[in-house]
Structure 1
Amino acid sequence: MSSTASSGAGEPTPGQQAADPWTAPPAFRRYLGDPGAQVHLHEAGTSEGAPVVLLHRDGGTGEAWADLMGLGSWSARLLAPDLPGCGLSDPVEGGVEERASHLLDALRRSEPRGLLLVAEGDAACLAVEMALTEPGAVAGLVLLSPVERTACDVLERLRQVTVPVWAAVGERPDHSVELPGARWLVLPGVGDEPVTEHADLVLDLVHGALAELVHPVPEQAEPQAGRRYITWVSSEAWVNPSLSR
């Protein structure tokens, strides 16, 4: 990943070259927002790709997604911010609501389309809050390995989310922490390791979620029945991930 950073707030992604399936898309770093309230952003892909925001665990940085960013995707614009107060991003006063609003404001300067939010671990709380803060700005949520405490923390708030939700774990979760309005996706072979260490599989999940968002099922009579969810991944998919990128 390139280490070049710029401060082009309000500018579209610099990646404008034509897609080449034999090479990884361009990757770079830059800052979004005003001085003193900037968000440091790792980015890979082109402006034509569907916007996907990768949210790291508490205390980490956007570098946690380095392997995934290195693979890249010509069909997805990958945006991995250092969350407020982490890495090279400026801190924000207040709680998760203020952080969600601040991060959305910064990202919307660069990307006006609906964002697919991919959150690992305790970042699920922030992702859910972002979906509630500005529903029109979020296209869907992919929650990777939400731990039991995190699942309980977001349970009530998640009931208010109206966008599609995918919840992915290394092992089948305890039924007591099932998330409403979502199906669990079990990732064979992942176990207790951080999901971000399995870049191929996570990228396949991202492509699958984007495909579901592009081709939704018709509205059904029952509430929420119109949502589509990835529910399981076979062991064959883990051994031989798709080459959809």
Structure 2
Amino acid sequence: MYLRRTPGATGATALFVHGLGGSSTNWTDLAALLAPHGRGLAVDLPGFGFSEPQPDFDFSLDAYAEFLARLVERLGEGRVHLLGNSMGGAISLLLAARRPDLVRTLTLISPAMPDRRPDPRRLSDPMLALAYLPLVGRRARRRLAAYSPRERAEQVIRLCFADPTAFPAHRLDEVAEEYAARLGFAWANPAMSRSTMGIFRTWFARGPASLWAVAPNVSAPALVIWGTHDRVISVSRAVRTASALPRGRLLVLPKTGHVAQMERPEIVAKAVLGMWERAETNEW
């Protein structure tokens, strides 16, 4: 398991959970802004970044949530401020609902909440999703394989940012270097494929297994952040998500895409800190 640590104030720990295809580097800027108020731990989930999965890991959202629970328990620091983006948001939601003893506050940034309604805004480049599906994804995988690591990084930034030109050049270099390194990991593509299927299975779950049924069980103060220009997970799910959380509040950011913590780190940091402060005085 790979953890990216951001030294910070004692007394509070923030745990950052990336989305599908992401890594701990997705939280670098936000973790630095929050550091005066708490130390940061950004994890590479099993199969992503530099975390090699165990042979028996099944890549379901439930398995990821259990992985995070064990991580927080090993830290031995009590409850953490939990922040998750996209798939990481769905995983964080599961953890907060099932283990309230481990979660101090919950921040969900464009969480991967299910919505089976047709929505042309849902994914601007379906190839990125299709590439990791069994059988039907073979052709898309061949197309992706022809891209250089930098071209693939640029493609992801175009998908996830409302204004891709605002993405810092040095950050793009970091993403490209990480993609190049992952080409040497035999477990990387299977992990992506199986995690994609894990999301789809959760989206089609009904009854108590549905994320919509899980959300009302979250007792922690919760902040939902969504960008109006999110082309991956539509902002149309934002109000319902925040309303499903008993202590949930919503912040919608204009001209912002799927990774608000990267595109608008200063605004996100202010909102998160506001929740932390109000949570301490039970004003949230």
Give the TM-score normalised by structure 1: 0.64
Distance 1:97 1:208, change over 3 A: same
Aligned counterpart, 1:142: 107
| Residues in 2 aligned to 1:64 and 1:173: alpha-carbon distance in whole angstroms | 20
Once the two structures are superposed, what CA deviation does each residue of 1:24-56 show, in whole Å capped at 9, x if it has no partner? Answer: xxxxxxxxxxxxxxx211111236141111111
1:148–1:177 Cα contact (<8 Å) kept = no
**Would you say 1:210 and 2:267 are equivalent positions?**
no
Structure 2 unaligned regions, length at least 5: 117-202, 204-209, 229-233
Over 3 Å counting, the alpha-carbon distance change for 1:167 and 1:150 in structure 2 is farther
What does the per-residue CA deviation read over 1:79-130, in whole Å, with 9 as the maximum and x for residues that have no partner?
A: 1111122112131513222221122212332242211111112222100111
Deviates more, 1:205-214 or 1:55-64: 205-214
SS in 1 for 2:35: coil
Which stretch of the first structure deviates more once superposed, 161-170 or 89-98? 89-98
Return structure 1 stretches of 4+ with deviation > 4 angstroms.
150-153
Q: Secondary structure at the match of 1:74?
A: helix
How many Å apart are 1:63 and its aligned residue? 0.7
d(CA) in 1 for partners of 2:84 and 2:238? 21
The partner residue of 1:65 within 21, 24, 27 is 27
Provide closer, same or farther for how the CA distance between residues 80 and 176 of structure 1 changes in structure 2, counting only shifts above 3 A.
closer
Counterpart mapping for 1:23-42 below 5 A: 39-42=1-4
Mapped contact 1:45–1:72 kept (Cα < 8 A):
no
Query: For 1:104 and 1:57, how far apart are their aligned partners in 2?
Result: 17
How far apart are residue 213 of structure 1 and its match?
1.6
Q: Which has the higher contact order (CA 8 A, sep 6+)?
A: 2
After superposition, the Cα gap between the structure-2 partners of 1:169 and 1:185, relative to the gap in structure 1 and judged at 3 Å, is: same
- Structure 1 partner of 2:261: 196
Q: 1:174 aligns with which of 207, 230, 236?
A: 236
How many angstroms apart in 1 are the aligned matches of 2:41 and 2:238?
33
Distance 2:66 2:266 in 1: 30
Q: Which moved more, 1:109-118 or 1:68-77?
A: 68-77
Residue 105 (structure 1) aligned to one of 70, 88, 94: 70
The answer on whether the counterparts of 2:23 and 2:45 sit within 8 Å (CA) in structure 1 is yes
| Structure 1 residue 62, shift from structure 2 partner | 0.1
Q: Tell me, what secondary structure is at the counterpart of 1:159?
A: helix
Contact 1:117 1:138 in 2 (8 A): yes
Q: Matched residues in 1 for 2:272 and 2:90: separation?
A: 19
- Matched pairs, number: 179
RMSD across aligned positions (CA) = 2.6
Shift of 1:185: 1.2
Secondary structure of the corresponding residue to residue 87 of structure 1: coil
Distance 1:58 1:123 in 2: 7
Local SS of the residue matching 2:14 = strand
Q: Higher helix fraction: Structure 1 or Structure 2?
A: 2
1:46 to 8, 17, 29: 8
Pair 68,111 (structure 1): closer, same or farther in 2 beyond 3 Å: farther
- For the pair 1:119 / 2:80, whether they are aligned, the reply is no
- SS of aligned partner of 2:257: coil
Residue type of the partner of 1:196? Q
Higher strand share: 1
* Cα distance in 2, alignment partners of residues 111 and 128 from structure 1: 21
For the residue of structure 1 that corresponds to 2:40, the secondary structure is strand
**TM-score by structure 2 length?**
0.56
Contact 2:9–2:36 (CA under 8 A) maintained in structure 1: no
Amino acid in structure 1 at the alignment position of 2:4: H
Does the 8 Å CA contact 1:124/1:154 hold for their aligned counterparts?
no
| Aligned-pair CA distance for 1:136 | 0.3
Q: Give aligned-pair identity as a percent.
A: 23
Counterpart contact for 2:78–2:102, Cα < 8 Å: yes
